[in-house]
Structure 1
Amino acid sequence: MATDIRPNGQTNGHTNGALKRVLRIAGVSGGVFDRFRSMQDLAKDPSIDVLFGDWISEISMTFRGNERATRDSDAERTAFEMSFVAALKPAIKDIAKNKQRVISNAGSCDPEALAKVVQQLVKDQGSDLKVSCVTGDDVTEQFKAMLKSGEKFPSLPSDIPIDQWGQKPVCAQAYLGGVGIAEALRHGADIVICGRVADAAPVIGAAMWYHNWGRDDFTQLAYALVAGHLLECSAYVTGGYYTGFKQELLYANNCTNLGFPIGEIEATGEFVITKEENAGGIVNIQTVTAQLLYEIQGPLYYNSDVTARFDGIKLTDEGQNRVRVTGVVGSPPPPTTKIGITARGGWQAEVHFFLTGLDIAEKVELVRRQTLESMGDYRKEFQTLTFNVTGSVPINPKNQASATVDLRIFAQSRNPDLMSAGTHKGVAPDTPSFGKWCIENCLQGYPGGTPAMDLRQSIGKPFFEYWVALFPQDKINHELHTFDGKTVPIPPPSNTRVYPRRQDSYDTALPLALDTWGKTVRAPLGHVVHGRSGDKSSDCNLGLFVRHADEWDWLRSLMSVGKLRELLEEEDKGKKIDRFEIPALYAVHFLLRDHLDRGANSSSSYDILGKNLCEYVRCKPVDIPKVFYDRGTI
């Protein structure tokens, strides 16, 4: 049995039955809040070549971007994610011992500053690991110049031009690809600190370096893009958010320490998804399918380096916790990349009331009328003011908790005085405010009136608006800054392709009559259908898939755009819904355009990330063929 050989000549100990160089890359973070133990534990595994992690999101980018844009001097600009340093510190000695590479986007809006912090940390730990950083994602100046010259920057979700946004941008950040990361590794970096790179870019860059791929090796790059998409959310592909969690995780007592994922990427691009051996969780075709369908926009997945086609992807079970991915098709990248533009939206706050038992709708209406009367003409100063009820009271509830719902009054305003509850500088405590208007009616309120007693949420906190558009790659100053003081420019791709702004969308061809399968059972869709949903700005995607080949014709015939609108009921915003299929995965994918209220940064909804949409749709009753239902529910 031959072992893999790494670029530095060291073997990683992973056997394949034939001499085959395989990059083993581990996803150690899916967000700033992920479990810190991952990097320390995976650094102890000498078979892993690269540790990479995602430390940022659209929400964190807006906060960090505003921090950098509003600070007075470069010395104060530390708009990066310090949690990365906390995760890295206990792993440094093993990383050095095992000659691993580390790639992170935790530089956020200040990668150069974080690189200096990490270099000092490495030195303090007695290591000679070399730290480089990649910059260029901050395109604020280029964006403002283009805006001044008349560029419209239409929103990707809504197609509305940015001059109709009504907000003043403070910063703009482009999504970089993986070429700068590959160059950093080729120049000898052990740790690469990035700002806003695309989520999959670290995997693309690592694979380019390891396998010496060129920028026109589109098939291989497309595979790396898909691998990065599967790995970048850490445990999402090893059982996190998995709709089959009950039998395979919860009841199996396998749910408290899901393993972090590992990708094994071959020189052809084909790869296997697996996970830590000595941890819980599961990798199977269903968990990989769920993550594959997460946060995608259509059959084409665009990236700064390559475009990958998803609708021909195939998954093969290679044994316990091992799934092989094939069928990926690559083509040139577009000449543009995504850009995220941040503006200060104002202040937001909320107050909660608990309503119990009878007459819930009437009690809500009483609160609404009294609150609006208290506000008087001040109500005009709220951009957003909603009265939302969460939950419902069953017939003959068994306890008081099940008979209680939550009324959430949510407000946004550009006037800090109205949102301060007397805490804003220079504002007297008796100044009219949102919180006071909500609470002052309690004694003339509804039967059983009970507010949530922690009123800190009634005090306004800043929120940000986020605008997503496209930006030309040839206007980005993409650069590598090496550990030894060199600056290496990263040119934009020379081989690009212009794609239609909107992807193909279609209902299924030749749908079968829904009585084809005989008797049916009226039951929730999710009893036999898996799924995953998520957000991209204010777009929301929804992927649904079944477990067995003979269920595919039923799912594709049932789940048309019209049927989805029927299941959405009051959640249907009446906006465009795109649809496509991945037959080999028995999957139907929908993209609900501009469905979320402005996205996670400023949403007035609880479902700020679009992740609950899938569970809402799966709970809706449909007529399921009895032959499928009798196999056992998910």
Structure 2
Amino acid sequence: MTTSRQVLRIGNCSGFYGDRLSAAREMVEGGPIDVLTGDYLAELTMLILWKSRQRNPDAGYATTFLTQVEEVLGTCLDRGIRIVSNAGGLNPGGLAREIELLAARLGLQPTIAHVEGDDLLDRLPSLQAAGHPLAHLGTGRTLHEAGVAPVTANAYLGGWGIAEALRGGADIVVCPRVTDASLVVGPAAWAFDWRLDDWDALAGAVVAGHVIECGPQATGGNYSFFTELPAGSRPGYPIAEIAPDGSAVITKHPGTGGAVTVETVTAQVLYETATPDYLNPDVVARFDTIELSQEAADRVRISGVRGRPAPDTAKVCVNYAGGFRNSATFVLTGLDIEAKADHTVRALDDALGGLDTFAEADVRLLRTDVPDPSASAAAESRLRVTLKDPDESRVGRRFFDAIGDIGMGGYPGMWVERAERRASAFGVYWPALIPTAELAPEVVFADGRRLPAPVPPVAPYPGFPAASPASSLGHRIVGETVSVPLGRLVGARSGDKGGDANIGLWARSDDAFAWLRDYLDVDRLRLLLVEASDLTVDRYELPRLRALNFVVHGLLGDGVAATTRPDPQAKGLGEYVRSRHVDVPRTLLADLGTPAATDSSRTAVPAR
């Protein structure tokens, strides 16, 4: 394709498997775009698709994508809009065949291609025999030492297979486990004829892809200051207008809800990130070089992004069956809440022959009661008991029956909000690395053509410099301070990274960021988030975004599918941290026009 094009408009219509079904039609009919993308895959989704293949070997892809394609395919072909999606999941070839059948029923003849080469399940024994231990990225334990039987193993591929498919004339590109950002990188590399080592341009596309991959999270969804946005309509889905140099403008169709501002984009930039080096198969994008500016209403420019050579290793998502789990929630009302919880746990322990005989027993008392409540709901707390075991019968009907056995002899006012007769299977996520040289992705066309995906030059990734330790940071508060929720000054976006959780926090002014950077070190983060008190926490600074990013290692255990934490993907973690009261200089609140009349004031003294 020639490089005379000045902009490539890429509109995303899906952030997960189950997102708004009408979004594809809204994106295609709402205004001009050149490429329609959809992101359907997450670590949990791979397990969901594996389960679907157990019922039907021809399944294993996101079925909702077919419905969306049916609504827009004719229009896309008429307007020359390419469709690129990772909805292929575990069976991209199967989904490509279904689209071909769908097109035939509609009387259409699109050129369809799919990408292969991510599925490593059958190769795991030979890879281990060749000296690749597939060690867990969090624990260092090898897959062999774990002694588990993986059910899925998929390498994260990049965008060059997509680019090759588009060069080959594909109207629709069905992808397996490519990285989310690759859905933007591939079309951009195709449209502008980028070289394999155009690191800065590729890095800019990675950032744009990361921003739009979760749909309306870039246009006001899950946004800390949502009350400041226009009320009424649902947030529209985002569009990335990519320029030949890799810079981009994030926008949305006119008339759609939400807003595109520097802060809504900042929030999404911070989502599910770790170090400021964001590793992708095609490039390492330096998030500490990102510059955001408000170009116009609902138009935010991303510029200045720098890239480093692609890493010589690829991430692999391995999943294995972890066993079975079941939960019960007991409602505790009124007085003696802790005694009632203890009574219940002891009764269950006796009825089940010992909670310590299960593979895992997670007991959480969630205190939501208040003194002298004005309504019965305000007097309630909840005891949540979760059991895991390889034996389904132990945590299924036996657990349910034990709850019935203790019912009449339970604590005063006992009632059970949730209890299931059957246990559910759960999977465990195992992240690992293999050399990129072990991968050979290919593009497969419906007419039988096979094209190897271009392979970028790679270099060993040296790692990001060690995060700032708490002891190296100074803390100075000058003048009067006010005890207010941290969220008066700071926005947050949090999410899961396997068993880890990230909390990205951004300040709303330069002065607020100067204070935040000095104030919020690892030790104080642990004070605000007690669950992290015994966990490893990394802290990273992104001054150009006025942001800090914390990575809490191990908070989610074995990942979203296996964790017993009530918020398994850490979605609310950032908002919890924002709710914690801290001592803030009153002048910062005055600068923002934030009322503080009801907050407690004091004169600050240095903390150290």
Structure-2-length-normalised TM-score: 0.94
Structure 1 window deviating more from structure 2 (158-167 vs 409-418): it is 158-167
Quick one: distance in 1 between partners of 2:254 and 2:500? 36
Is contact 2:277-2:464 (8 Å) kept? no
Which residue in the other structure is 1:12 paired with?
none
Q: Given the alignment of the two structures, is residue 498 of structure 1 paired with residue 460 of structure 2, yes or no?
A: yes
Q: For structure 1, list consecutive stretches of 5 or more residues without a partner in the other structure.
A: 1-6, 10-18, 422-432
Structure 2 distance, partners of 1:194, 1:420, is 38
Whether contact under 8 Å (1:508, 1:556) holds in the other structure is no
Structure 1 position 390, deviation (Å): 2.6
Task: Determine the structure 2 residue equivalent to 1:176.
Answer: 157
1:13-52, Cα deviation, whole Å (9 max, x unpaired) = xxxxxx8610000111000111111111221256200010
2:91 is matched with which residue? 110
Within the candidate set 249, 268, 288, 2:265 is matched to: 288
- Cα distance in 1 for partners of 2:96, 2:307 equals 33
Whether the 8 Å CA contact 1:508–1:557 is kept in 2: the answer is no
Question: What do the CA deviations read for 1:41-96 (whole angstroms, capped 9, x no partner)?
Answer: 2212562000101112111102323554x57xxx8331111011112211122112
Match of residue 601 from structure 1: 561
Query: Are the aligned partners of 1:394 and 1:403 in contact in 2 as well (CA < 8 Å)?
Result: yes
Whole-angstrom distance in 1 between the partners of 2:297 and 2:5: 21
**Counterparts of residues 118-197 of structure 1 (less than 5 Å):** 118-197=99-178
**1:150-198 deviations in whole A, cap 9, x for unaligned?**
5332222333333443532223110000000001111011111011110
- Partners of 2:533 and 2:65 lie apart in 1 by 39
1:536 aligns with 2:514: no
* Contact map agreement 2:277 2:286 (CA 8 A) in 1: yes
> Is the contact made by 1:137 and 1:175 (CA closer than 8 Å) also made in structure 2?
yes
Query: The residue matched to 2:289 in structure 1 has which SS?
Result: coil
* Secondary structure class of the residue paired with 1:215: coil
Alignment check: 8 A CA contact 1:363 1:446 kept: yes
1:146, distance to aligned residue in structure 2 (A):
2.1
Structure 1 contact 158–593 (Cα < 8 Å) conserved: no
Residue 566 of structure 2 corresponds to residue 590 of structure 1: no
Q: Which residue in 2 is equivalent to 1:326?
A: 303
CA contact (8 A) 2:163 2:189 kept: yes
Which aligned pairs between 1:451-466 and structure 2 lie closer than 5 A? 451-452=416-417, 455=419, 457-466=420-429
Mapped pair 1:49 → 2:56: no
**Would the alpha carbon gap of residues 507 and 320 (structure 1) be closer, same or farther in structure 2, given more than 3 Å must change?**
farther
Q: 1:130 to 1:414 in 2, by over 3 A?
A: same
Question: Equivalent residue for 2:49?
Answer: 64
Contact 2:12 2:27 in 1 (8 A): no
- 2:18 pairs, out of 3, 14, 33, with 33
CA contact (8 A) 2:15 2:213 kept: yes
**What is the Cα deviation at residue 383 of structure 1?**
1.3
SS in 1 for 2:174: strand
1:391-410 alignment runs, 5 A limit: 391-410=367-386
- Deviation track 1:368-417 (CA, whole Å, cap 9, x = no partner) reads 0000000115x455212122123421122221112212221111110022
Q: Which moved more, 1:391-400 or 1:235-244?
A: 391-400
CA contact (8 A) 2:470 2:522 kept: no
Q: 1:357 aligns with which of 334, 351, 355?
A: 334
Deviations 1:123-155 (A, max 9, x none): 211222221100111011222222245533222
Alignment check: 8 A CA contact 1:92 1:125 kept: no
C-alpha contact 2:115 2:441 (8 A) present in aligned 1: yes
Q: What amino acid is aligned across from residue 542 of structure 1 in structure 2?
A: I
CA shift for structure 1 position 219: 0.8
Listed as ranges, the gaps of 5+ residues in structure 2 are 596-608
Instruction: State the partner residue of 1:449.
Output: 414
Q: 2:358 aligns with which of 382, 388, 395?
A: 382
Q: Shift of the alpha carbon at 1:573?
A: 5.0
Question: How far apart, in 1, do the equivalents of 2:495 and 2:438 lie?
Answer: 30
| Aligned partner of residue 133 in structure 2, secondary structure | coil
SS of residue matched to 1:311? helix
Q: What does 1:190-339 align with in structure 2 at a 5 Å threshold?
A: 190-248=171-229, 252-254=230-232, 256-339=233-316
Of residues 51-60 and 475-484 in structure 1, the stretch that sits farther from structure 2 once superposed is: 475-484
TM-score under structure 1 length normalisation: 0.90
Q: Which amino acid aligns with 1:533?
A: S
**What is the one-letter code of the residue matched to 2:32?**
S
Query: What's the offset of the Cα at 1:510?
Result: 7.9
CA distance 1:263–1:340, change in 2 (3 Å)? same
Work out whether 1:478 is the aligned partner of 2:441: yes
- Of 399, 411, 414 in structure 2, the residue corresponding to residue 434 of structure 1 is 399
Report the residue type matching 1:460 in the other structure. Answer: A
| CA deviation after TM superposition for structure 1 residue 628, in Å | 1.8
Q: What amino acid is aligned across from residue 217 of structure 2 in structure 1?
A: Y
Cα distance change of structure 1 residues 503 and 52 upon mapping to structure 2, 3 Å threshold: farther
- In structure 1, the residue matched to 2:323 is 346
| Cα distance in 1 between the residues matched to 2:585 and 2:151 | 54
Q: How far apart in 1 are the matches of 2:538 and 2:176?
A: 31
AA aligned opposite 1:451: V
Of 162-171 and 333-342, more deviation after overlay is shown by 162-171
**In 1: Cα distance, 2:234 partner to 2:324 partner:** 38
Q: How far, CA to CA, are the matches of 1:166 and 1:368 in structure 2? A: 32
Q: Cα deviations across residues 512-542 of structure 1 (Å, max 9, x unaligned)?
A: 54322x2111011112110111111111111
- Alignment partners' CA distance in 2, 1:400 and 1:522: 31
Task: Count residues with an aligned counterpart.
Answer: 594
Amino acid of the structure 2 residue aligned with 1:548: S
Candidates 558, 566, 586, aligned match of 2:527: 566
Q: Match for 2:11: what amino acid?
A: A
Task: Please say if residues 158 and 594 of structure 1, whose CA atoms lie closer than 8 Å, have aligned partners that are also in contact.
Answer: no
For 1:523, the equivalent position in structure 2 comes to 484
Q: Distance in 2 between the 1:216 and 1:568 partners?
A: 42
Aligned to 1:13: none
CA distance in 2, matches of 1:337, 1:437: 47
SS at match of 1:441: helix
Amino acid at match of 2:537: I
Judged with a 3 Å threshold, the aligned counterparts in structure 2 of structure 1 residues 123 and 504 are, in CA distance, closer, same or farther, namely: farther
Give identity over the alignment, percent: 35
Q: Which amino acid aligns with 2:574?
A: C
Deviations 1:247-280 (A, max 9, x none): 22xxx424x4111000010001111111121210
Would you say the 8 A contact 2:489–2:512 is kept in 1?
no
Shift of 1:583: 0.9
What is the deviation of 1:492? Answer: 3.4
Deviation larger for 119-128 or 340-349: 119-128
Q: Which moved more, 1:117-126 or 1:150-159?
A: 150-159
CA distance in 1, matches of 2:147, 2:407: 36
Q: Match of 2:604? A: none
Counterpart in 2 of 1:554? 515
Alignment-mate amino acid for residue 410 of structure 2 = G
Letter in 1 for 2:36: L
Amino acid at match of 2:207: V
- How far is 1:575 from its partner? 2.5
